Structure 1
């Protein structure tokens, strides 16, 4: 490791570095264990609430309040784990094209930029927690300080983590240049702040387009890009006390319905570990194996079916790809075609409940999540049929002479093995419709069911891996929820600036509901490719949904169109990060899929247009 100031003797430098690495390991493992135990506690608390209410008719009045309090702690500690792992969502399409040496510098710059926000944010977060200390929670009757202190504590742990990353992995020259560059920008904005107030709404372009854009394209995590721009805008151009921004972030991260995110992520990992996903896919393959392009149809169907359980696209792909890809390659399928189809099915199944995006859009716009769960089934099916049309055309001359034909008896045997897994989506749906559990709680029923099936029937359960999955769940959930919190604060700042009224006026002047819908499709395809799905939904959902209502567009119909459009951008190269995640899961180079994905994307857009033109597809079963 190079040093930017004093050159230490080699032994002393190595010893100091070993000490930092050891401290980082101890701190990191401690935070991961605590975060994992909070995920486990959330599962136990919510499942206990369902059992006590539905079975014993004795609701636990404090369960939701405790779950909400633990959730904020989980989100902040999960964000710390994600920062330590480098797992915060970021756009790397531009950075990946740089030389290796410059990529290392950009990585250092992104950590320093994130650290700058955390240092600026810590004191307002502490002030906010102190203000909350005087409020008593209604059910548990304890100070709300226990809830709010999670934000400054999580912030402090992220500061320590960022410093450790720079000290252990950073090159001295890169760290020095990054610190000087970020410091110079902070000082410049501070001195020019008073004069910037006279610019009025031009500041919106400076902070929320230029600054956000530079940070995002430079590889700074999206959450920190949003937070830096919002903090700078509020501090320099308004008189808003900074603890107000902390309150908006806390509000965005504390919606109890978002607790479904970590629980469904864990459920998705669980069904893959217990072999339930493999059983479902094998049954579908036995049915369609002798059809030309049959395994591609299975891929589309498996993603639709598994997506209805896990809610996490990466978990879906990780469950399906290892099972299907080896057999599909043996039958002559090209790796590029496989990864292209798998990627596009990620977008196609975004509306299939209980998708995390459905839960997110319901929480930030007030649309009924039960209605979204019902309305999302058919749009995903329509887009799936469009993809199957491309599969039919590409594989219409496939040679099936060497493909094994399953007998009816073999199919029946495979069906019996797969039946417990096939039942799970219906268990989840029944629990929501019949009022057994809320959309937040229902995942715990799925987890309990999967544990039982994995232990008793499939006998495929690894306790060590199950604990590691709790840590992975905390990390992924922390990165998602932290984005939602920062995007909520950014959306609030945009609303307070009058931007929402201006946006509404522009959108209304476009010429009616059809034009508004067409523009929304284009906008969300672009936003999905640049910002990823959840940030785009959280940031622009509260601004555009009221306009859609005024134009007579049903909330659920608009939700389906927006989600499919966003998914199209998210999983479309060259910018869509979902595509690169799919390639990573499939272990296929991204360049392999480019020649094949165009036809699949065209079919997906066709399905999206059909869903947009015919509202009944989204509303027919409500």
Structure 2
């Protein structure tokens, strides 16, 4: 009864548009105050423990990494290099869009950062060259989902801390789904633009292509440092985030593209974003403790076993649930609320924890593009000054591509588990 009341209170607060952190914190504190065996001291301890974690320190560092890449003009260099190399192909700027997002993803780790950085560059460039605005914005939104799938994926860090799995293993888990998403977006773009022979960029001399590629090469060093350091065992993911920030800071100073005013704005933006994320994490830690105390995972398992005892059916039910939750709840909050309940049930069904993590993260990232709450929709609307209905219209073909990729990683778990196993992240 107590558990049901807490969940009802959480849902009501979220429907009333109360900030997620408060919606998690208020029912938890009421529970603690009314339970004679609990105390405020325990509540404080559980709340602090949620953020008093070495892996969670990577979150603000990777947020700073993405903001530095954007503020220092590194995103423009990536876009220029991709345009020089791919623009001559029919519909080339569509592939430039995807390739630029892939390049920036190794530094951002978040779809919102990718959409904000790339939207301001790619959409005006595509529209000015004759690409439909809806298609341009829709593709930019869809390609922004590459960022939270590959290192340094911020949702992966949040999930790993919440579920108690290896951050490095989860980083590797997302690479194959990201590649599948890239292939799906390229195939969809080709189909839409296959008859638009006018959408070609002028030929670029090889010397200019070389200069553009060399200009973006130092930016690629961030990906080499982060991924190479983690794979080689030199850095933990948290340490890699700090080294990556230092590398980009030095690069920005060499480029002379980061003055004191821009640096201050970058730090302020990082503090605001990190603060909002970590407050939710702290509140969710107390809420998760209450759920565990009330045996929520065990009760959820018993309920699901009354519906099915087949792992595939369970994954389908989880995907349907996440489609709904992702449309109304920000991914970090959704992970912190649902994973403590669903992840133990997945283990009971015999589902690999990394496979389940990949399914959950990918599904919730699609929610960033799904109304009514999809945050990437609002970011793109603000950056590109495009009405949200136009963005959704442009996204419709790409929704199909994303659902196909989700189905593939759901029904073929080896695609998400073999790379971490090959690289030695799992025994």
- Per the TM superposition, whether the score is higher than 0.5 is yes
- Which residue of structure 2 aligns with residue 186 of structure 1? none
Q: Hey, what's the Cα distance between the residues in 2 that align with 1:401 and 1:361?
A: 41
The correspondence for 2:303, drawn from 506, 525, 528, is 506
- Which residue of structure 1 aligns with residue 425 of structure 2? none
C-alpha contact 1:572 1:601 (8 A) present in aligned 2? no
Following superposition, the deviation at residue 426 of structure 1 comes to 1.4
Q: How does 1:178-257 map to 2 (within 5 A)?
A: 201=1, 203-209=2-8, 211-236=9-34, 239-257=37-55
Aligned pairs, how many?
419
**Tell me, what secondary structure is at the counterpart of 1:378?**
helix
The correspondence for 2:250, drawn from 423, 435, 452, is 452
Instruction: Note closer, same or farther for the CA distance 1:479–1:401 as it changes in structure 2 (3 Å cut).
Output: closer
Following superposition, the deviation at residue 237 of structure 1 comes to 5.8
The correspondence for 1:391, drawn from 189, 200, 215, is 189
Q: Which of the pair has the greater relative contact order for Cα pairs under 8 Å at 6+ separation? A: 2
Following superposition, the deviation at residue 395 of structure 1 comes to 0.9
Following superposition, the deviation at residue 242 of structure 1 comes to 2.5
1:147-189 Cα distance to aligned partner (Å, 9 max, x none): xxxxxxxxxxxxxxxxxxxxxxxxxxxxxxxxxxxxxxxxxxx
**Tell me, what secondary structure is at the counterpart of 1:405?**
coil
Unaligned runs of 5+ in 1: 1-200
Could you tell which deviates more after superposition, 517-526 or 338-347? 338-347
The correspondence for 1:548, drawn from 346, 349, 371, is 346
Following superposition, the deviation at residue 239 of structure 1 comes to 4.2
Q: Hey, what's the Cα distance between the residues in 1 that align with 2:165 and 2:384?
A: 35
Q: Hey, what's the Cα distance between the residues in 1 that align with 2:95 and 2:198?
A: 15
Following superposition, the deviation at residue 342 of structure 1 comes to 2.0
C-alpha contact 1:348 1:567 (8 A) present in aligned 2? no
Following superposition, the deviation at residue 619 of structure 1 comes to 1.6
The correspondence for 2:323, drawn from 500, 525, 528, is 525
- Which residue of structure 1 aligns with residue 423 of structure 2? none
C-alpha contact 1:526 1:566 (8 A) present in aligned 2? no
Q: How does 1:470-509 map to 2 (within 5 A)?
A: 470-509=267-306
Structure number, greater radius of gyration: 1
Instruction: Note closer, same or farther for the CA distance 1:349–1:310 as it changes in structure 2 (3 Å cut).
Output: closer
Instruction: Find runs of 4+ consecutive structure 1 residues off by over 4 angstroms.
Output: none
TM-score by length of 2: 0.93
C-alpha contact 1:207 1:232 (8 A) present in aligned 2? no
The correspondence for 2:213, drawn from 406, 412, 415, is 415
- Which residue of structure 2 aligns with residue 301 of structure 1? 99
1:509-564 Cα distance to aligned partner (Å, 9 max, x none): 42211111111112222222222111111122122222222222111111111100
Following superposition, the deviation at residue 234 of structure 1 comes to 3.3
1:297-326 Cα distance to aligned partner (Å, 9 max, x none): 221222222122122322222221222222
Q: CA RMSD in A?
A: 1.8
Q: Is 1:465 matched up with 2:276?
A: no
Instruction: Note closer, same or farther for the CA distance 1:239–1:530 as it changes in structure 2 (3 Å cut).
Output: farther
C-alpha contact 1:522 1:565 (8 A) present in aligned 2? no
C-alpha contact 2:60 2:274 (8 A) present in aligned 1? yes
TM-score by length of 1: 0.65
C-alpha contact 1:348 1:564 (8 A) present in aligned 2? no
The correspondence for 1:564, drawn from 343, 350, 362, is 362
